[in-house]
Structure 1
Amino acid sequence: MFYGADYYPEHWPEERWETDAHLMKEAGINVVRLAEFAWAKLEPDEGLYDFSWLDKAISILARHGIKVILGTPTAAPPKWLIDKHPEILPVDNDGYVKGFGSRRHYCYNNPVYRQYTKKIVTAMAEHYKSNSNVICWHIDNEFGCHDTTVCYCDNCLEEFRKWLKERYGNINKLNQSWGTVFWSQIYKDWDSVIVPRKAVTSHNPSLLLDYKRFSSDSVVKYQKLQIDILREVTPDKKITHNFMGLFNQIDYYQLAKDLDFISWDNYPINHFSDKSDQIAANIALSHDVMRGVKKKNFWVMEQQSGPTGWEEMGRQLKPGEMRLWVYQSIAHGADAIVYFRWRACTFGTEEYWHGILDHDGVPRRRYHEVKQIGQELQKIGPLIEGSEIKAEVAIIRSFDNEWAFEIQPHKRGFKYMEQIKKYYKYFYSRNIPVDIISPEDDLSGYKLVLAPGLIMVNEKITDNIKNYVRGGGTFLTTWRAGAKRWDNRMNDQSLLGPLKDLLGIDIEEYSIIPDDENINIIFGDNEGTANVWFDVISPVTAEVLGEYKSDYLAGKAVITVNKYGMGNAYYVGTIPSDGIIKELLDKVTEKCNVSVTEIKGDEGIEIFRRIKGADEFYFVLNFNRKPSTIIIDKPMMDILTGKYINGEITLEPFGIKVLSNK
């Protein structure tokens, strides 16, 4: 198992590098990421390459048994390049050029920048193609970070028109699909099509959705430019990129396709963090989203190792907390842990973003915790190598649908991902593993598939879902399902569109729910509330499971199930309160026989399983700040202690167990 740190030798005197490598080896570190922001050091002037300092750093690390992930430095174009070609800089939706002075200051579609990208990537690939210490390429850094997915420059306008022409074929088809007859927006030819810079009021929602799709595709295309070079010059080295969890500006399913594996950057406790008590569940969801983009295990390329911060700082990690987050990462499918960063920098924007070592480079508590984890992973790594997560439940995440709700959230403040979190929270609280998948993925291996917020469907997605249910699967979707076509315009059919026969209902009427209005619903013995939205459902072939209790809605259906082929399709016409969701999913998971873990634990204890053949490994994580209890009903091996345990076991705050069924 790879265990490492992001290292920036260019930030420190060369005489320190040997000390760093020695401390890394002592901590069990066997891999580092290098050079992803070092373009100005690698190419101090155009065509003048200097790899000597990087060669020396790699050589020192190699003497200590440490391999290298080498970053292409394209996330930070150097000043000399911007001075020569200021047209590389991106343009915001007001039409203003974003200036030099931070990072990610480039347009993906700029032809000049693409040429310079080819040059630096080719030079690095040629130089390191025979270096066995370089095991992997890391492309760029956090594509889209700082709202840099979308640019509105003239290069993007030209490329957008080409993209649309390829998609629609002729301008009349585009006009019809977008409905440009509305507000006299009809385009006479491709040269008259615009990019959606700031206008007097809202743009056409179909234009906005296509621009999000185009912008995402531009990132994918730019990444592939680099991948193609690296594959040709260094075919023996793997290629990855560091994704950002729940980030939604790029279609991660598409971005992942050309990579050997994906990585992501995991900062559970940072200065941007969700301050709710759901941080552990949200990070678990992020891991599962990352595992789902390629349906395979992943790396964590930036694992939090200290307080974070730029102008403001996050809090210190408490003793044992870093270890807890590391083990959660591994439990959910991480095959490598790489900390950000090795040492806190004494200058620049991130000087308050701490690493394993503080600014003075002296090993302290966090270093010793990293060292402890390194020693533990030497025991665990060989056992879990090749293991995977096997989930019986999947939740569909559709970037297109997320973008559609971002463009038109229906109710102020509503976010597509918040509804997914609500349903995910149920499975997380019961320690039921979940895959987060694309709507086009094969569904046949799952007992239950949920698709909250599936407002747009196309023929391929519709057929995929219907075939799954027809064959015996259980499917659950929610309000607005099928209400729109794939081009983000409303269906002219009755609501639910092509999903109507699957769900067996009609929608009589619908509305947002104002914040000052309470609507009660009842499901079984549980009474709760409807939130954000309500559908008034008229069953056709479906069975009513839940009803409204308020006002003129009283007695009207809100939750239904329809028999379709050999399977069942559930519809939830609102966002119910947590108690209703729990009772509903209790019923659904029992009916489709979803497995639950044999280990029982107090609330706040996460239990997650990795499987390798007949071997099962249970990661038991106490996110409570108090001692908590688990109950094991058969003897299991505690891998860290080498002892068998059984019965009632107490875990200390932030405590962990890694258990084996053998």
Structure 2
Amino acid sequence: MSTERHLRLPGIAYGGDYNPEQWPEEVWAEDMRLMREAGVNMVSVGIFSWALLEPAEGEYDFSRMDRILDLLHENGIAADVATPTAAPPAWFFKTHPEALPVDRDGRTLSYGSRQTFCPSSPAYRTAALRISTAVAERYADHPAVAMWHIHNEYGCHNPECYCDTSAASFRKWLRAKYGDDLDALNHAWGTTFWSQWYYSWDEILPPRATAAPPNPTHQLDWRRFCSDELLSLCTAEREVLRQAAPHLPATTNFMVLRTFDSLDYWRWAPELDILSNDHYLMSDDPEAEIDIALNGDLMRSLAGAPWLLMEHSTGAVNWQPVNRAKNPGEMRRNALAHVAHGADGVLFFQWRAAKAGAEQWHSAMLPHAGTDSQIWQDVVRLGADLRALGEVRGSTHAARVAIVWDWDARWALELPSQPSGELRFQDLVRDWYTPLWRAGVAVDFVRPDAPDLDSYRLVLAPSLYLVDDTGANRLAAYVERGGTLAVGFHSGAVDENCHVRLGGYPGAFREILGVRGDEPFPLLPHQSVGLTGRVPQGATADLWTERLRLTGAEAVATYADGPLAGVPAITRHAYGSGTAWYVATHPDPATLSAVLEHLRREADVRPEHEAPAGIEVVRRRGAKADYLFLIDHAGQGAEIPAEGVELLTGKPVVGTVTVPEGGVAVVREPRSTSSGE
């Protein structure tokens, strides 16, 4: 990310998507008054305004946007100005019907919504860059503009298009990747299987619907291509913006969510000046606060710095089967948890709840009920909280534990025809993350090929089914130099081409783990086995087992029953100057927590701060002080040892700080009294 282009905004950014074009102009003055009352200091504008800004090809009407930006500037509110390319207007598709996306089954999708375009369409690219150029040139020097917002949620609804134009672009991408060597592609894809050998590049198609399971490497390369194709659109718009306004930072809102896996954000992150994320709770998640923390830590790791929460919700969303409203205090806890995990901005979708359109039942900062509502009271209170936390902006985190995260591994694990179709990458990672979160242990996320792992005392790879030689070698070297590594089951099984690593499991990690498996034994749904050894009494495991023998490691736990009774299930191996553990099954939560606690103690990793169960503890580190966030998710309240100043109330803290029931405390601790790593 750029160090020259940054958001020049004092304090923590607060606001949301502002869509005044959906309302009569006489409402705008009220918007300004209420934004000031709430403490809003930045809004995103123009995200879905293409049809209004360019009513016909090459004809522009900026009069409305001019008035909006002038009004924001007059009221001291910064603008995050969008290129409106996520929603091409109807006239574009009437002229260019070939730009409509085609799904895997060959159906052409219609316009009438958002993001219904083919990412490979030359006509779309030309039109998108034209409107982006017009917006950039008009507003590059407008005093309200603080940042550019490229597109919106790339790939949210059109991560893949299977049309002939996309097929041609896919082939071009493949020729670049394989050095125009068709034999190299055939080898990488293993096309001798099922007579899939290609004799001409023109024979290669996207992985469209087929009668039987498609080639896994074909599918994996397709996922990589689709991510890169959308990234090429993003960087093309970014260049237009930089040419017009080299001083302004640009972002696009990621979707680091449990439900979205279409883009490789490790590849996207270096291309943007500021990283931002949209995060929404899943109504069926009983511990959504863990998801907030995990995704916040992943965003912070992608950014290598603080980031912006570009969208979340004050209450219910509109796109889940049942859209749960938030409980009292939950919105505030959510927002401040994002700040705790590195967000230097808290924005919502959207400012004023829509009365028409597909998102009319999505909550907003100003709800349908207006200011006589609990949501509005909470919004105003949150604005005051964020003003009180202004000094936290720019502070960082220091973690001694890293979790390996890789989109290639995620995509490959969830392809069809696995030994078990029950494996979900993000669920497996969250299983390992959760005990660390409960213990108040700071966590970074890293790529498997990260070159600087030595700063971590403990590295965890819960799910690394696919790993290339570089990643495997760097993890091995980390252990050899004295690090502690724990690897989850079914890891190291295939290389970057999805080819099985022969010679036994866990493939790339056999040597450092000191084990060899010869057959996976996945368990059926609702089936479990017992574990015995250095694990809690009554320990069980489900989802996965494998026949394993020791080749240097020691057994920490074995299967107590089932077809693999007596076989090692959890192992420990001294390798070089370090230690490598293998968790060859899916232990129950209490057992996995006990294993990870043992690993932490062995690696001398301590919690950020002692606190009772139900209190989330996170520390951000500033230049002269630490900021200790204490968030009560259990609703019990607590007295926590601390010294300093509680920023939300401004009161000095001597000995202990009170965390209100269901509330939050943020203590500025002088660096000399900080207790963590």
TM bracket (short chain):
over 0.9
Aligned partner of 2:436 among 427, 440, 443: 427
State yes or no: 1:262 paired with 2:275.
Answer: yes
Alignment length (residue pairs): 653
SS of match in other structure, 2:414: helix
The aligned amino acid for 1:22 is: R
**Residues 293 and 438, structure 1, Cα contact 8 Å, conserved in 2:** no
The aligned amino acid for 1:103 is: R
In 2, the alpha carbon distance for the partners of 1:519 and 1:192 equals 48
What is the CA-CA distance between 1:362 and the residue it aligns to? 4.0
Q: 1:63 to 1:514 in 2, by over 3 A?
A: same
The aligned amino acid for 2:525 is: D
**Residues 501 and 508, structure 2, Cα contact 8 Å, conserved in 1:** no
In 2, the alpha carbon distance for the partners of 1:374 and 1:551 equals 57
Aligned partner of 2:645 among 632, 637, 640: 637
What is the CA-CA distance between 1:613 and the residue it aligns to? 3.0
In 2, the alpha carbon distance for the partners of 1:18 and 1:406 equals 50
Q: 1:413 to 1:497 in 2, by over 3 A?
A: closer
Match of 1:64 in 2: 75
Match of 2:165 in 1: 155
Q: 1:516 to 1:49 in 2, by over 3 A?
A: closer
SS of match in other structure, 1:140: coil
Q: 1:649 to 1:128 in 2, by over 3 A?
A: closer
In 2, the alpha carbon distance for the partners of 1:188 and 1:435 equals 45
State yes or no: 1:478 paired with 2:488.
Answer: yes
Q: 1:284 to 1:311 in 2, by over 3 A?
A: closer
Q: 1:310 to 1:561 in 2, by over 3 A?
A: closer
Q: 1:638 to 1:516 in 2, by over 3 A?
A: closer
What is the CA-CA distance between 1:562 and the residue it aligns to? 1.4
Aligned partner of 1:487 among 494, 497, 500: 497
SS of match in other structure, 1:533: coil
**Residues 310 and 352, structure 1, Cα contact 8 Å, conserved in 2:** no
What is the CA-CA distance between 1:162 and the residue it aligns to? 1.1
What is the CA-CA distance between 1:127 and the residue it aligns to? 0.5
SS of match in other structure, 1:219: helix
Match of 2:337 in 1: 328
Match of 2:401 in 1: 393
The aligned amino acid for 2:419 is: H
SS of match in other structure, 1:428: helix
Match of 1:617 in 2: 627
In 1, the alpha carbon distance for the partners of 2:321 and 2:502 equals 50
Aligned partner of 2:27 among 3, 13, 16: 16
Deviations 1:344-380 (A, max 9, x none): 1111111111211123644533222222222222221
Moved more, 450-459 or 37-46: 450-459
What is the CA-CA distance between 1:590 and the residue it aligns to? 0.3
Match of 1:543 in 2: 554
In 2, the alpha carbon distance for the partners of 1:530 and 1:640 equals 44
In 2, the alpha carbon distance for the partners of 1:589 and 1:390 equals 16
The aligned amino acid for 1:390 is: A
**Residues 7 and 32, structure 1, Cα contact 8 Å, conserved in 2:** yes
The aligned amino acid for 1:4 is: G
Q: 1:628 to 1:143 in 2, by over 3 A?
A: same
Match of 1:339 in 2: 348
In 2, the alpha carbon distance for the partners of 1:413 and 1:540 equals 29
What is the CA-CA distance between 1:614 and the residue it aligns to? 4.2
SS of match in other structure, 1:223: helix
The aligned amino acid for 1:493 is: G
1:171-570 map, 5 Å: 171-246=182-257, 247-268=260-281, 273-309=282-318, 314-359=323-368, 361-362=370-371, 364-381=373-390, 383-408=391-416, 409-441=418-450, 442-515=452-525, 517-526=527-536, 527-570=538-581
In 2, the alpha carbon distance for the partners of 1:57 and 1:92 equals 38
**Residues 91 and 98, structure 1, Cα contact 8 Å, conserved in 2:** yes
Aligned partner of 2:17 among 6, 15, 24: 6
Q: State the identity as a percent.
A: 35
What is the CA-CA distance between 1:337 and the residue it aligns to? 0.9
**Residues 638 and 661, structure 2, Cα contact 8 Å, conserved in 1:** no
Q: 1:274 to 1:487 in 2, by over 3 A?
A: farther
In 2, the alpha carbon distance for the partners of 1:363 and 1:168 equals 62
SS of match in other structure, 2:28: helix
In 2, the alpha carbon distance for the partners of 1:172 and 1:315 equals 53
- TM-score, normalised to structure 2, is 0.93
In 2, the alpha carbon distance for the partners of 1:18 and 1:560 equals 66
RMSD of equivalent CA atoms: 1.7
Aligned partner of 1:574 among 563, 585, 601: 585
The aligned amino acid for 2:17 is: D
In 2, the alpha carbon distance for the partners of 1:182 and 1:521 equals 39
What is the CA-CA distance between 1:421 and the residue it aligns to? 0.7
**Residues 503 and 561, structure 1, Cα contact 8 Å, conserved in 2:** yes
1:32-43 map, 5 Å: 32-43=43-54
Q: 1:293 to 1:525 in 2, by over 3 A?
A: closer
In 2, the alpha carbon distance for the partners of 1:81 and 1:292 equals 39
5+ long unaligned stretches in structure 2 = 1-11, 671-677
